Amino acid sequence: MPPVSLITGMMASGKSTVAQALAERLPRSVHVRGDLFRRMIVSGRVDMTPDAGEEAWAQLRLRYRLAAQTALGYHASGFTPVVQDVILGPVLGDVTALYAAVPLRLVVLCPSPDVVAAREAGRHKRGYGAFTPGDLDRALREETPRLGLWLDSSVLTVAGTVEAILRHFGSGE
Protein backbone atom coordinates (compact mmCIF):
# COMPACT_ATOMS: atom_id res chain seq x y z
CA MET A 1 0.00 0.00 0.00
CA PRO A 2 1.25 3.50 -0.73
CA PRO A 3 2.07 5.80 2.17
CA VAL A 4 0.06 8.84 3.16
CA SER A 5 2.06 12.06 3.02
CA LEU A 6 1.17 14.68 5.60
CA ILE A 7 2.64 18.13 5.01
CA THR A 8 2.44 20.76 7.71
CA GLY A 9 4.02 24.06 8.63
CA MET A 10 2.89 27.56 9.39
CA MET A 11 0.73 29.64 7.06
CA ALA A 12 2.57 30.70 3.87
CA SER A 13 5.27 28.06 4.38
CA GLY A 14 4.38 26.51 1.01
CA LYS A 15 2.22 23.59 2.16
CA SER A 16 -0.47 23.86 -0.53
CA THR A 17 1.94 24.41 -3.39
CA VAL A 18 4.33 21.68 -2.28
CA ALA A 19 1.51 19.21 -1.58
CA GLN A 20 0.03 19.80 -5.04
CA ALA A 21 3.42 19.43 -6.73
CA LEU A 22 4.17 16.27 -4.74
CA ALA A 23 0.78 14.76 -5.59
CA GLU A 24 1.42 15.51 -9.27
CA ARG A 25 4.62 13.44 -9.08
CA LEU A 26 2.94 10.40 -7.51
CA PRO A 27 0.84 7.80 -9.32
CA ARG A 28 -2.88 7.68 -8.53
CA SER A 29 -2.67 10.46 -6.00
CA VAL A 30 -5.04 12.88 -4.31
CA HIS A 31 -4.41 16.22 -2.59
CA VAL A 32 -6.44 16.63 0.62
CA ARG A 33 -6.57 20.27 1.71
CA GLY A 34 -7.36 20.40 5.42
CA ASP A 35 -8.56 23.99 5.28
CA LEU A 36 -11.48 22.92 3.06
CA PHE A 37 -13.09 21.32 6.09
CA ARG A 38 -12.90 24.61 8.01
CA ARG A 39 -14.39 26.51 5.08
CA MET A 40 -17.28 24.05 4.78
CA ILE A 41 -18.75 25.35 8.03
CA VAL A 42 -21.34 27.86 6.85
CA SER A 43 -22.70 28.99 10.19
CA GLY A 44 -21.13 28.76 13.62
CA ARG A 45 -17.50 28.55 12.55
CA VAL A 46 -15.01 29.60 15.23
CA ASP A 47 -11.52 30.24 13.88
CA MET A 48 -8.34 29.82 15.87
CA THR A 49 -6.99 32.86 17.70
CA PRO A 50 -4.22 33.26 20.29
CA ASP A 51 -6.85 32.99 23.05
CA ALA A 52 -8.94 30.27 21.37
CA GLY A 53 -11.65 28.72 23.44
CA GLU A 54 -12.81 25.13 23.55
CA GLU A 55 -15.14 25.50 20.54
CA ALA A 56 -12.29 26.69 18.30
CA TRP A 57 -10.17 23.75 19.45
CA ALA A 58 -13.05 21.30 18.93
CA GLN A 59 -13.57 22.56 15.38
CA LEU A 60 -9.84 22.34 14.66
CA ARG A 61 -9.70 18.75 15.92
CA LEU A 62 -12.78 17.93 13.82
CA ARG A 63 -11.04 19.36 10.75
CA TYR A 64 -7.99 17.18 11.39
CA ARG A 65 -10.17 14.07 11.87
CA LEU A 66 -12.16 14.74 8.69
CA ALA A 67 -8.98 15.24 6.66
CA ALA A 68 -7.57 11.98 8.04
CA GLN A 69 -10.80 10.07 7.35
CA THR A 70 -10.84 11.41 3.79
CA ALA A 71 -7.20 10.50 3.22
CA LEU A 72 -7.68 7.05 4.71
CA GLY A 73 -10.73 6.48 2.49
CA TYR A 74 -8.72 7.33 -0.60
CA HIS A 75 -5.84 5.23 0.68
CA ALA A 76 -8.11 2.20 1.15
CA SER A 77 -9.10 2.59 -2.50
CA GLY A 78 -5.50 2.48 -3.67
CA PHE A 79 -4.78 6.20 -3.97
CA THR A 80 -1.71 7.95 -2.58
CA PRO A 81 -3.03 10.80 -0.43
CA VAL A 82 -1.07 13.97 0.17
CA VAL A 83 -2.65 15.86 3.07
CA GLN A 84 -1.73 19.42 3.99
CA ASP A 85 -2.77 21.61 6.89
CA VAL A 86 -1.39 23.86 9.60
CA ILE A 87 -0.69 21.48 12.49
CA LEU A 88 1.49 23.07 15.16
CA GLY A 89 2.27 22.34 18.77
CA PRO A 90 1.62 19.15 20.73
CA VAL A 91 -1.50 18.40 18.66
CA LEU A 92 0.83 17.17 15.88
CA GLY A 93 1.32 13.95 17.85
CA ASP A 94 -2.45 13.52 18.13
CA VAL A 95 -2.89 14.09 14.41
CA THR A 96 -0.19 11.61 13.39
CA ALA A 97 -1.92 9.03 15.59
CA LEU A 98 -4.97 9.33 13.31
CA TYR A 99 -2.83 7.71 10.60
CA ALA A 100 -1.44 4.90 12.77
CA ALA A 101 -2.93 2.16 10.55
CA VAL A 102 -1.02 3.24 7.43
CA PRO A 103 2.54 4.15 6.48
CA LEU A 104 2.93 7.90 7.07
CA ARG A 105 5.43 10.33 5.57
CA LEU A 106 5.34 13.44 7.75
CA VAL A 107 6.93 16.61 6.39
CA VAL A 108 7.21 19.80 8.44
CA LEU A 109 8.05 22.79 6.25
CA CYS A 110 9.96 25.30 8.36
CA PRO A 111 11.21 28.25 6.33
CA SER A 112 12.43 31.28 8.29
CA PRO A 113 9.79 33.73 9.57
CA ASP A 114 11.24 36.45 7.30
CA VAL A 115 10.74 34.24 4.24
CA VAL A 116 7.19 33.41 5.38
CA ALA A 117 6.39 37.12 5.86
CA ALA A 118 7.70 37.88 2.35
CA ARG A 119 5.65 35.03 0.87
CA GLU A 120 2.55 36.21 2.72
CA ALA A 121 3.03 39.74 1.37
CA GLY A 122 3.30 38.42 -2.18
CA ARG A 123 0.24 36.19 -2.30
CA HIS A 124 -3.39 36.98 -3.05
CA LYS A 125 -4.87 35.30 0.02
CA ARG A 126 -4.16 36.45 3.55
CA GLY A 127 -3.60 33.90 6.28
CA TYR A 128 -2.26 36.14 8.99
CA GLY A 129 -4.50 38.24 11.16
CA ALA A 130 -4.70 37.19 14.78
CA PHE A 131 -1.28 35.53 14.51
CA THR A 132 1.99 36.87 13.12
CA PRO A 133 4.62 34.80 11.32
CA GLY A 134 6.75 35.20 14.47
CA ASP A 135 3.94 33.81 16.66
CA LEU A 136 3.54 30.70 14.54
CA ASP A 137 7.29 30.27 14.12
CA ARG A 138 7.64 30.14 17.91
CA ALA A 139 4.82 27.58 18.13
CA LEU A 140 6.49 25.55 15.40
CA ARG A 141 10.03 25.58 16.75
CA GLU A 142 9.34 25.63 20.51
CA GLU A 143 6.12 23.63 20.97
CA THR A 144 5.88 21.20 18.04
CA PRO A 145 7.31 17.70 18.57
CA ARG A 146 10.25 16.85 16.31
CA LEU A 147 8.47 14.21 14.29
CA GLY A 148 9.09 13.40 10.64
CA LEU A 149 11.22 15.33 8.17
CA TRP A 150 11.78 18.97 9.13
CA LEU A 151 12.68 20.81 5.96
CA ASP A 152 13.88 24.42 5.86
CA SER A 153 12.55 25.43 2.47
CA SER A 154 13.66 29.06 2.77
CA VAL A 155 15.92 28.89 -0.28
CA LEU A 156 14.39 25.88 -2.05
CA THR A 157 12.10 26.11 -5.04
CA VAL A 158 8.88 24.11 -5.03
CA ALA A 159 10.52 21.54 -7.29
CA GLY A 160 13.58 21.45 -5.03
CA THR A 161 11.39 20.93 -1.97
CA VAL A 162 9.54 18.06 -3.65
CA GLU A 163 12.86 16.52 -4.70
CA ALA A 164 14.15 16.75 -1.12
CA ILE A 165 11.01 15.01 0.15
CA LEU A 166 11.22 12.24 -2.45
CA ARG A 167 14.94 11.73 -1.78
CA HIS A 168 14.39 11.53 1.98
CA PHE A 169 11.56 9.01 1.82
CA GLY A 170 12.48 7.24 -1.42
CA SER A 171 10.88 8.39 -4.63
CA GLY A 172 7.55 6.53 -4.53
CA GLU A 173 7.02 7.73 -8.11
Domains and CATH numbers, the chain: 4-169 (3.40.50.300)
Structure confidence at residue 135 (pLDDT): 86
Q: pLDDT-derived band of residue 48, with 50, 70 and 90 as boundaries? A: confident
**Residue 171, pLDDT above cutoff 70:** no
**Residue 131, pLDDT above cutoff 90:** no
Classify residue 139 by its DSSP letter.
Answer: I
Say which residue, 84 or 2, is predicted with more confidence.
Answer: 84
**Mean pLDDT score, 143-154:** 96
Strand partners, 29: 80
Cβ burial of 121 (10 Å; 0-12, 13-18, 19+) is: exposed
Coil, helix or strand at residue 99:
coil
Is residue 66 within 8 Å of 146, Cβ to Cβ? no
Classify residue 91 by its DSSP letter.
Answer: H
Say which residue, 12 or 127, is predicted with more confidence.
Answer: 12
At position 97, the amino acid (one-letter code) is A
Mean pLDDT of the chain: 92
Query: pLDDT tens digit string along 107-119?
Result: 999 999 889 888 8
CA distance 21 to 95: 23
Query: pLDDT tens digit string along 77-97?
Result: 999 999 999 999 999 999 999
**Mean pLDDT score, 119-136:** 73
Pairing of strands 29-33, 80-84: parallel
Structure confidence at residue 125 (pLDDT): 63
Cα-based distances in Å from 119 to 35, 111, 145? 19, 10, 25
Q: pLDDT-derived band of residue 120, with 50, 70 and 90 as boundaries? A: confident
